[in-house]
Amino acid sequence: MALPRVQAVLFEQSVLASQLGLQDGQMFWIGFSDLASPGEYTWSDGSPVTYTHWDQGMPDNSNGDCVAATSGVVAGMWQDKACYDELNYVCEKGRIGFTAPPVTQPPPPTQPSNQGCATGWIGYGNNCFRVDEVPNSETLFWVDAQQHCRNMGAELASFHSGDEEDYVKAQANVITPGAGFWFGLHDQSTEGGFEYTDGTPVDHTNWGPGEPNDVGSGEDCVEMFFGDRGWNDMDCVVPYTTPAPPTPSPYPPCPSNSEWMLRGDYCYYYSAEIDDRRGWVEANSYCMDNGAYLASVHADGETTS
C-alpha cells in the first residue's frame, strides 16, 4: 500500500538526512530551485511542492537560486546557494520493480473568481482572501491578528505564487500601500526557519532587499505591503493592519419577515432547511447583511428559552 503523500515526503526527508549524516559540513544539491522564476520554488522533476525544510534565515534567494541540503549535526536542512557553486549532490530515480509515480503536469493557469467567497472576500484558486484597512488605533499584534482570522473561520494568508500575491494586491484597493499588513509567514517555532500558520509549504518568496534580517534577533513575524515594497520580517508585538469584520448596519428590532422570531431582547433567524446550509464565513456574512451576527450563547438554557 502506498504511503500518503505527506507521510511519504517526511520519510524521504528522514532518509535524506540520515544518509548525509555527520559529514564534514558539506552541502549537497537537491532538485529545488527558483531558476525558472525568481521567488517561485519548484522541483526539477516537475513534482508538486508539498513540503519544505528550510534552514535558519531561509528561504533567502539573494544567496542564490538553487537549493542544497546541509550535513552535520542538523543534516537535511535546506539553504539557498549560488547555482555556480560546486557542491556534492543527491540523485533520485525510480526503483526497478516498483511503479514510478505519474509525471505531474503543470496545473492550468488559475482563473481568479470570487465565486464561492463571501461578500468582501477576494477569490483566487481554492482560497478566499479578505483585506481591510483599519485606523492606527485598531491595528493588532500578530498573535491577535491570527486569532482574529481564526474567529472568522480563516487563517492568516499564505501566498504560493507571485500571480496569487499580485492578484490579491490588485483587487484589495488599499488606500495606503506603504502600510504593513500581517500575513501568515513567521519563524517563531525555529529561529530563521520560516513557515506558514496554515501548514502549507514556503514555495514563494517576495523579500525586500536585505530581508529577512532579524534585527535584534526579535523579528519573527512577516509583514507585506500593497505597493512595490517586498516582505519584511518584523517584531510580532508591533501592531499592524489586519482584516476587521464589517459593522452591521442598524436594523429594526425585528424584521417583518416571519422567519425571524423574537426571543427575549433579540431576534433570531434559524437556518433549518438543507438547501439553506452555508460555510461559517458565508453564514456570518449572511447574518451581517441582515444587520445581525451569528448567535452567541452566554448562559445555560439560553438556546432553549
Classify residue 107: in a domain, yes or no.
no
- pLDDT tens column, 90-141: 887 776 676 655 655 566 677 789 998 999 999 999 899 999 788 887 889 9
Question: Per the domain annotation, does 226 fall within a domain?
Answer: yes
Query: Does the residue 271 lie in any domain?
Result: yes
Let me know: does 272 contact 278? Beta carbons within 8 Å. no
**Tens-place pLDDT, residues 186-225:** 988 877 778 899 989 899 999 988 888 876 667 899 999 9
Domain that holds residue 61: 5-89
Q: How far apart are CA 268 and CA 288, in angstroms?
A: 13
Number of domains in the chain: 3
pLDDT at 304: 47
Q: Is 106 inside any structural domain?
A: no
The share of the chain scoring above pLDDT 90, in percent, equals 23
Which amino acid, residue 136? N
**Amino acid symbol at 115:** Q
203: domain CATH number is 3.10.100.10
Q: Are residues 79 and 178 in the same domain?
A: no
195 and 279 fall within a common domain: no
Residues 161 and 185 in one domain: yes
Q: Does 23 share its domain with 80?
A: yes
Is residue 168 located within the same domain as residue 76?
no
Do 224 and 254 belong together in one domain?
no
Inside any domain, residue 116: no
**Measured between alpha carbons, how far is residue 200 from residues 49, 74, 107, 185, 203 in Å?**
9, 22, 17, 10, 9
Report pLDDT digits (tens) over 150-162: 988 899 999 999 9
